[in-house]
Amino acid sequence: MSKGPISQFIEHNYRHFNAAALVDAAKGYEQHLLEGGKMLISLGGAMSTAELGVSLAEMIRQDKVHIISCTGANLEEDVMNLVAHSHYKRIPNYRDLTPEQERELLDQHFNRVTDTCIPEEEAFRRLQQHLEDVWHAAEAKGERYLPHEFLYQVVNSGVLEQYYEIDPKDSWIVAAAEKNLPIVCPGWEDSTTGNIFTANVIKGNLNVHTVKSGIEYMIYLTEWYRANSAGKGVGFFQIAGGISGDFPICVVPMMYQDLEWEDVPFWSYFCQISDSTTSYGSYSGAVPNEKITWGKLDIDTPKFMIESDATIVAPLVFAYILGQ
């Protein structure tokens, strides 16, 4: 396949250091897919607020990603941007804000992520009731679902379409819901929708077991990995750090150490985009070879580390893989 102008620019200009690592990682990802491998992408940080959906949605549509691990914030914030985009507020001079100005934003119901303020009041006025409806409907039938499955029910029902403020082709959740893409969302409780569900449980409106737990997400991932790791195997493309990366990568050592299953294949490709510092003992900043000692990667697993800003790097890698 002939590459488009973005890919040609990357190959011509990105020759050294993190730029060269980006090219190597993109080519490795592409080769992994060509050889029949599957890929997990993990989303840490605030990538949905950064509107990664503009490039990630097309990756999903073209089957360049087969499962996603994300934080609860990334799961919900793509939908928030979808239904309340015009109410977002950008603050380019965010470094200059005083504590008093930050409090003013809170009083205006804006929650700031770097230069972008999320209009939680507006976004959740359009989402909360529909989520509560599917939670109650499931409970009435004695059914239980994972957090992303409930969100898929809302998106696929079409009830949010009346609120759409961006082209839905730029929403990665819409693309994922249409394909019923597997998602792992560890620590979903650490999100606004998780907090809303918790409040409903405390008030006695819902049963805590209606939304399945993180342990059940690990069981779900175990079943998926067992079914998809034959042949070339499953690669791991990690954007930023945190639980969205830590949780899914542990499924491999869990299977052969704790379940004592034999012949569990290691992850067969690994790349991380990170700006974390290695020397502080952080998992996010650890060089890929450290993961060999934890039974996650093997000696010959292709490994890449791009030490840069994921909001810049990830769309470029995706553009290369998409041939743009």
Residue 283 above 80 pLDDT? no
195-244 pLDDT, tens digit per residue, is: 999 999 999 999 999 999 999 999 999 999 999 999 999 999 999 989 99
> For the chain, what is the mean pLDDT?
95
Q: What's the order of all strands across the beta sheet hosting 269-273?
A: 183-184, 67-70, 38-43, 234-239, 269-273, 303-306
Q: What is the mean pLDDT of residues 168-196?
A: 97
Q: What is the mean pLDDT of residues 258-264?
A: 95
Distance CA 218, CA 164 (A): 33
Tokens of 213: 């737990």
6-59 pLDDT, tens digit per residue, is: 999 999 999 999 999 999 999 999 999 999 999 999 999 999 999 999 999 999
- Confidence at residue 4, expressed as pLDDT on a 0 to 100 scale: 97
Helix/strand/coil for 209 = helix
Contact (CB, 8 A) for 248 and 69: yes
Residue 277 above 80 pLDDT? no
Residue 308 above 80 pLDDT? yes
Percent over 90 (pLDDT), the chain: 90
Contact (CB, 8 A) for 267 and 233: yes
Per DSSP, 303 falls in state E
Among 18, 15, 36, 17, which residue's Cα sits nearest to residue 269?
A: 36
Q: What is the mean pLDDT of residues 186-197?
A: 96
Question: CA separation (Å) from 115 to 31, 112, 191?
Answer: 36, 7, 20
DSSP, residue by residue, 47-101 = TTTTTTHHHHHHHHHTTS-SEEEE-HHHHHHHHHHHHHGGG-EE-TTGGG--HHH
Distance CA 193, CA 131 (A): 8
288-304 pLDDT, tens digit per residue, is: 988 989 999 999 999 99
- Confidence at residue 309, expressed as pLDDT on a 0 to 100 scale: 95
- Confidence at residue 282, expressed as pLDDT on a 0 to 100 scale: 72
Q: What's the order of all strands across the beta sheet hosting 89-90?
A: 89-90, 116-118, 111-113
82-114 pLDDT, tens digit per residue, is: 999 999 999 999 999 999 999 999 999 999 999
282 vs 28: which has the higher pLDDT = 28
- Confidence at residue 279, expressed as pLDDT on a 0 to 100 scale: 65
Q: Would the pTM of this model clear 0.75, i.e. be above it?
A: yes
Per DSSP, 210 falls in state G
